[in-house]
Each structure stands twice: as C-alpha cells, then as structure tokens.
Copies of this chain bind each other. A is one copy, B any other.
C-alpha cells in the first residue's frame, strides 16, 4: 500500500528545517530512512545536505543515510525502509536519478509500500513529469519524466498573484496555464504549509490552507484540507 507524503516546502518562514512536519514524519517512518540529496539546494554538497537532514531526523530518533554513500544505489533503494527526497533544484535531481538509472527502482519500492517523504523538488518528482517545477534549468536532464506515483503534476511553493505587483513576468497561474496548452495532466498548486498524503489509492490534500487545482479547459478551483483527490470523479 502506497504511503507517501509530498510537502510543498521543507520549512515555513521563521521555523526550523522540517519543524512543521515533525509529527507527520514520526508517524510516516520507523527507524531508518535513505535520504536522496541530489537536488542540492544552493549547490551544497551531498554530504553537507545529508548532515542537515540527518540532524532533523535524529531529533525524531530516525537514522538517515545519504543515498550517495552507497556503492550500489539501486540495491540500496530496493532494501530501503523509507525515503526522504529533499528540495533544491529539480533539474539536478531528475538528471541524477535518470543518469544513475534509479527512477524505476525508486518507483517500485514506493509502490510496494516503502514510505516516501518529498519536500519541494522531492515532491515534484512524485508527479507524472517535472514540467511544473519553478526551478531554473541549470542542467539538461535526459528526460523530464518522473516517478508518476500520483496521476497528476505538482507545483510546490505555489504562490498567488500579487495584486500590487508592477512586474511584467508571468504569474504562477499563467505558467501553469501555459503548461496546459501543451499537456493534459492536472496540476496541484501546493501552497507552503500544505502537503499531499497518499495512502494506498486514497489521495488527500492536507495542511494549513486551501489548495488550488488546475485542470485543462476548466477554471482553477480551491479545495480545503482533507479533500479527497480523484480526477476521474472530483
């Protein structure tokens, strides 16, 4: 049974790393987790990123080990007791997962029921593709396809338009609309403080705020925390 938590962000403003997810993380994982550090926020090293995540997990009595420390990451993924993929740059993360041929192994483990936590880029890759990321294309991945653990795409750090802005760059909503001129997957705009919870075939949106949902050829709409996500019959 799938057991997945996809958070918009790792941290809320003024709070410690992962602090707002403490009770969720404690109930999601048992004693051990493999950390996937490939998104490298700010370009930090895999080691430094793993230290940061390990500290937060140690406070919850969960041992966290970086995937990059295993000689054979495919086997490590097959034997893992849990996964946490941290945020950063989605292009870096997806390039590395494809180049090390880890997408299929990771998908298989999570579909088998190994718990998965993603934040930001780590949530993005649970969607059908990474094509609704906010990140800059700093490297060229061999494909934009991702894990497809959920039948839609995610936009983490979803941001409402600022009505006072005089900036002429596209709003987040405009960008997602442009995605829908070329693609048909629904997109969940996940505000910071919200997450998606997957238990078996049941998918809900959770957290502090309403969640904004975009489907092709349909006005965007908002759903409150606790709403079941089912695009065939929503």
Residues of A participating in the B interface, judged by any CB pair closer than 8 Å: 9-14, 40-43, 88-89, 91-92, 130-140, 143-144, 157, 159, 166-170, 174-183, 192
List residues of chain B with CB within 8 A of the CB of A175. Answer: 135-136, 138
| Smallest beta-carbon distance A98→chain B, Å | 12
List residues of chain B with CB within 8 A of the CB of A134. Answer: 136, 169-170
List residues of chain B with CB within 8 A of the CB of A177. Answer: 42-43
Q: Once the chains are docked, how many angstroms separate the CA of A165 from the CA of B179?
A: 26
List residues of chain B with CB within 8 A of the CB of A168. Answer: 9-13, 157, 192
Decide: A43 and B176 in contact? CB cutoff 8 A: no
Main secondary structure of the interface of A (DSSP, over half): loop
- Knowing A168-B12, A177-B42, A181-B40, the reply to whether A136 touches B133 (Cβ < 8 A) is yes
Decide: B182 and A92 in contact? CB cutoff 8 A: yes
| Smallest beta-carbon distance A61→chain B, Å | 26
Decide: B174 and A138 in contact? CB cutoff 8 A: no
**A90 — nearest CB in chain B belongs to which residue?**
B137
List residues of chain B with CB within 8 A of the CB of A166. Answer: 13-14
- Knowing A13-B166, A157-B169, A168-B12, the reply to whether A178 touches B43 (Cβ < 8 A) is yes
Q: Once the chains are docked, how many angstroms separate the CA of A179 from the CA of B91?
A: 11
| Smallest beta-carbon distance A70→chain B, Å | 23
**A180 — nearest CB in chain B belongs to which residue?**
B43
Decide: A42 and B169 in contact? CB cutoff 8 A: no
Decide: B133 and A137 in contact? CB cutoff 8 A: yes
**A168 — nearest CB in chain B belongs to which residue?**
B9
List residues of chain B with CB within 8 A of the CB of A136. Answer: 131-134, 175-176, 178-179
List residues of chain B with CB within 8 A of the CB of A167. Answer: 13, 157, 159, 192
